[in-house]
Homo-oligomer: A and B are copies of this chain.
Amino acid sequence: MNAPVLDFWFDFASTYSYPSAMRLRALAEETGVAVNFRPFLLGPIFAAQGWNTSPFNIYPAKGRNMWRDLERICADLALPFLRPNPFPQNSLLAARVALVGLNASWGEEFCVEVFRTQFGEGRRIDDAAPVAQILTRLDIAAEPVLAAAQSDDNKARLRAQTEDALRRGVFGAPTFTTADGELFWGNDRLERALLWATQNR
């Protein structure tokens, strides 16, 4: 019998991916599930639905609820919360850097730190300077990593990952997918997805 596996699909600009990223590794350890961090870009997926920004901006009542809801969720989890401005942040460079890190040893730490910086401290993550600062905080030399992130190969890897997300039916973030093809959408479904992974490996 294989070890249970769960893929964690997220865009760094995704608000509800923040509590998932902060909770995921501890819950995965508790339940014995191996988790793959899979950053992708929501932009092309939203564009295919006719949206040019976050649906939380397009539908204001939904957006107001999301910010209040996220505030309550973070308070319940004792997570810091501060709304970044602008929203959504451009997540392209951070996602490219994350792919470099996930091929090395520091990818998950980087992802968690990007989310914490953005939604815990309300700081920008949308440019080379803030991304380099995060790398520096993690004791990683920023310059070679940023160069690797912007290589043609790495850009193509992020495009392929986004296409893979689309193929699996991903339409938002966070999304969790299992080895047998089950898809769970939303931070609210993390526990159920982990249970599914352990019961249907």
Residues of A near any B CB (own CB < 8 A): 49, 59, 61-62, 64-65, 68-69, 72, 76, 169-172, 183-186, 188-189, 192
Measured in the bound complex, the distance between the Cα atoms of B189 and A111 in whole Å is 27
Knowing A171-B59, A188-B188, say if A183 contacts B72 (CB, 8 Å).
no
Tell whether, in the assembled complex, residue A65 and residue B188 are in contact, meaning their CB atoms are under 8 Å apart: no
Across-interface contacts of A65 in B (CB, < 8 A)? 169, 171, 183, 185
Tell whether, in the assembled complex, residue B72 and residue A171 are in contact, meaning their CB atoms are under 8 Å apart: no
Across-interface contacts of A186 in B (CB, < 8 A)? 188
Knowing A68-B183, A183-B68, say if A62 contacts B188 (CB, 8 Å).
no
Tell whether, in the assembled complex, residue A185 and residue B69 are in contact, meaning their CB atoms are under 8 Å apart: yes
Measured in the bound complex, the distance between the Cα atoms of B68 and A189 in whole Å is 13
Across-interface contacts of A76 in B (CB, < 8 A)? 192
Measured in the bound complex, the distance between the Cα atoms of B183 and A95 in whole Å is 33
- Please name the residue on chain B nearest to A175 by beta carbon: B65
Tell whether, in the assembled complex, residue A169 and residue B49 are in contact, meaning their CB atoms are under 8 Å apart: no
- Please name the residue on chain B nearest to A51 by beta carbon: B59
Question: 9 closest pairs, A vs B, by CB?
Answer: A61-B171, A188-B188, A65-B185, A62-B171, A61-B169, A49-B59, A65-B183, A64-B169, A59-B171
Distance in Å: Cβ of A174 to nearest Cβ of chain B = 13
Most buried by B among A61, A184, A188: A61
Distance in Å: Cβ of A40 to nearest Cβ of chain B = 14
Measured in the bound complex, the distance between the Cα atoms of B61 and A172 in whole Å is 10
Distance in Å: Cβ of A53 to nearest Cβ of chain B = 15
Distance in Å: Cβ of A61 to nearest Cβ of chain B = 4
Distance in Å: Cβ of A54 to nearest Cβ of chain B = 14
Distance in Å: Cβ of A55 to nearest Cβ of chain B = 10
